[in-house]
Chains A and B, each alone.
Chain A
Amino acid sequence: MSDALSALPLFSPFVEFAFMRRALAGCLALSLGATPVGVFLMLRRMSLAGDAMSHAILPGAAIGYLVAGLSLPAMTIGGLLAGLAVAVLSGGVARHTVIREDTSLATFYLLSLSAGVLIISLRGSSVDLLHVLFGSVLALDDAALLLLAGFASLSIVALAIGLRLFVLEGCDPAFLARISRLGPLAHYGFLVLLVLNLVAGFHALGTLMAVGIMILPAAAARLWVCNIGPLLLMASGLAIAGSITGLLLSYHINLPAGPAIVLTLGALYLLSLAIGPLAPLASRWRSGWHFER
C-alpha cells in the first residue's frame, strides 16, 4: 500500500520523509486551531491588529532566545508574555490618549519588530533571524508539534464553549454588554486565544507569516458562505488544502515552505475573489445567480 502511495507525486513526499509528515501535522494543527480564531479576527475587523500582535510576539521570543538559545519553552513563554503585554498596552493607549487604535498598534508593531531583530542579532546568526522571521515548518521537532497540537486543542475547546459569546461579541457587543456580564471575558478571552495561536503560528511559519494562515483562509471563505458555522468549517478546510498544496509545491519545485504555504492560501483568496458567489466580480458576471449577502 505504502509502495503504491509513494509512487504518486501527491503522496510520496509525505510517505517517504518524516519531516514532511511533521510539517503536515503542524499545518493541520494550525488550520484547526488558528484559522477559526482568524475568522473571528476578521469579523471583529481586527485583521491588522492581529498582524501587529504577531510582530509583538517577537521581542519576547527574542529575549527567550537570548537567555536559552533556540529553546521552545523559553521562546514560547517570552512570546506569550510580550503578545499579551502589547495587546493590553496598545488597547490602553488607544482608550486613554488621543492616539487612535490603528496608530497605537502600528507604533507597538514597529517597536517590537525592531527590538526583536536587534536582540536576536546581538547573539545569533542571520540563519537564526530567518528562522524567527519566517519559521521552520520543515524542522518541527516532537516538542514543537506537541505544543502546536496542544494550543490547537485548547483553542478548539475554548471556541466551542464560548461560540455564542464570541458571535454576539462580534455581531452586537453593546447588546451583549446589556444582557450579560460575560462581555469582558469574551473580549479578553479572545485576545488570549489570539496570542496563543500566534505563538503557535510563530513556531511553524515565523513572525511575518503567522497571521497568513489565520486571515487568508478566513477572508477566502467569507466570499463563499454567509453563516458563521459553515464559515468556520470552510476556512479550516481551505487552510488544510492550502497547507498541503503549499508543502507539495515547496517539495517539488524546491521553494521555501512557509512562504509557499502562505502564497497558496493567498492564491485561494484571489480565486475566491474572482469566482466566490459573494465576490463582486461573480455577482456581476453571472447575473443569473441570485445570492444574498
Chain B
Amino acid sequence: MRFDNLTLGYNRHPAVHHLHGEVTAGSRLAIVGPNGAGKSTLLKAIAGELRPLQGRLERHGVQRHQIAYLTQQATLDSSFPILVHDFVAMGLWHKIGAFSGLDQALRQRILQALDRVGLSGLQKRPLGSLSGGQLQRALFARVMLQDAPLVLLDEPYGAIDGASVHDLAAVVRHWHAEGRTVIAVLHDLEHVRQEYPEALLLARELVARGETTSVLSESNLLRARQLAGGGDKEVAAPICHIDEVGT
C-alpha cells in the first residue's frame, strides 16, 4: 500500500496532511497519536470509505470488499434480537451472500472462530446479553470469518478489560502469523511497544514512521503533542492555507 502526498479531511477541512509512505503486505502496523490527530480518518481512507482531498492512496492487490474494517461500535445496534452465532455468521457473507445456507464446514468455522475469541458455549445467547468485552470478542470473531487479507482495527480495545485485551491481542498475532496485514489505531503505547513491530505516529501530519521503539521516542511524542496543539480541528485549516491557495 502506498500513500503519495495524501491529504484527507471532511467538508474541505483537512485532518491529515501530505502523508507519504508505504505499508508492505503482511505487516503489523499501529497508528498512534493524540486525539484529533487524524488516525481514524486515515483508517477510513485506507478502507476506501473516504476520498482523498489531495494526493493518492494505492492498495495493490486488495479490493475494497477484501478489507475487514472494525470501527468503533457506533453503528451496531446491540439490542437487536439476534443470537451470537447468527451475528458472527454474518462474517461469512462473502461465502453465503444474502441467500445461501450454511453447510457443515461453515458451521464448524463459526464455532472455531467463537472458540478462538473465547466465546465458545455462548453461541445461543442473544447479542444484547453480552458484556462490552464479550461483544468486542464477537466482533473479532466476525472479522475472523471475513477471512480478509487486510484487517483494519479502529481502537479495538477502547472500553474492555485486561483479560479481553490479552485474548484479542493473541488473535491479532495469529492473523499476523497467517500472513494478513493488520493496521490498528491504538492509544495504549505500552501495548503498541509489546505487540506491534511497526508504528506510524500521526499528529495531522506524519511525525515518524518505522520501527516502533524509534517511532515512540520521547522527542517524537513531544513533537506530536505540540503539533496537535489545542486539539481543536479548526486549527488544521490555517496550516493548510498555502496548499489550498496553490490548488
Give the interface of A toward B (CB within 8 A). 43, 161-162, 164-165, 167-168, 170-175, 178-180, 182, 222, 225-228, 231, 292-293
Contact = CB atoms under 8 A, between A and B. Distances in A.
Given A182-B98, A228-B82, A293-B126, A172 B93 contact: no
Interface stretch (B11-19, B72-80, B197-205): B72-80
14 contacts: A43-B77, A43-B80, A162-B98, A165-B98, A167-B86, A171-B77, A171-B127, A178-B65, A226-B81, A227-B83, A227-B126, A228-B80, A293-B126, A293-B128
B73 to A, nearest CB: 9
A172 B37 CA distance: 27
Given A226-B126, A231-B81, A179 B65 contact: yes
Given A170-B77, A171-B82, A175-B76, 5 more contacts: A171-B80, A171-B87, A179-B90, A226-B81, A227-B126
A134 B146 CA distance: 50
B65 A225 contact: no
Contact of A179 (B75, B87, B93, B125): B93
A279 B152 CA distance: 38
A292 B129 CA distance: 6
Please name the 4 residue pairs, one residue from A and one from B, whose CB atoms are nearest each other, closest first. A292-B129, A174-B75, A226-B126, A171-B80
B76 A171 contact: yes
Contacts of B86: 167, 228
A161 B93 contact: no
A293 B129 contact: yes
B112 interface: no
Contacts of A227: 81-83, 126
Given A170-B77, A171-B76, A173-B75, A292 B126 contact: yes
A202 B77 CA distance: 31
A157 B14 CA distance: 48
Interface of B: 47, 49, 65, 67, 69, 71, 74-77, 79-83, 86-87, 90, 93-94, 97-99, 125-129, 146
Nearest to B90: A168
A230 to B, nearest CB: 9
B81 A178 contact: no
* Max chain A Cβ within 10 angstroms of own Cβ: one of B86, B125, B128: B86
A228 B98 contact: no
Given A168-B90, A172-B75, A226-B128, A180 B80 contact: no
B19 to A, nearest CB: 23
B176 to A, nearest CB: 22
B126 A164 contact: no
A170 B77 CA distance: 8
Contacts of B69: 178
Contacts of A43: 77, 80-81
Most buried by B among A162, A168, A179: A179
A175 B90 contact: yes
A227 B125 CA distance: 9
A225 to B, nearest CB: 7
A171 B125 CA distance: 16
B76 A172 contact: yes
Given A226-B81, A292-B125, A293-B126, A175 B75 contact: yes
A160 to B, nearest CB: 10
Contacts of A164: 98-99
A179 B126 contact: no
B98 A179 contact: no
A179 B95 CA distance: 11
Contacts of B75: 172-175
B77 A172 contact: yes
A201 B80 CA distance: 26
B119 to A, nearest CB: 14
B64 to A, nearest CB: 8
B82 A167 contact: yes
Nearest to B94: A179
Nearest to B96: A164
A186 to B, nearest CB: 9
A46 to B, nearest CB: 12
A178 B86 CA distance: 18
A225 B126 CA distance: 10
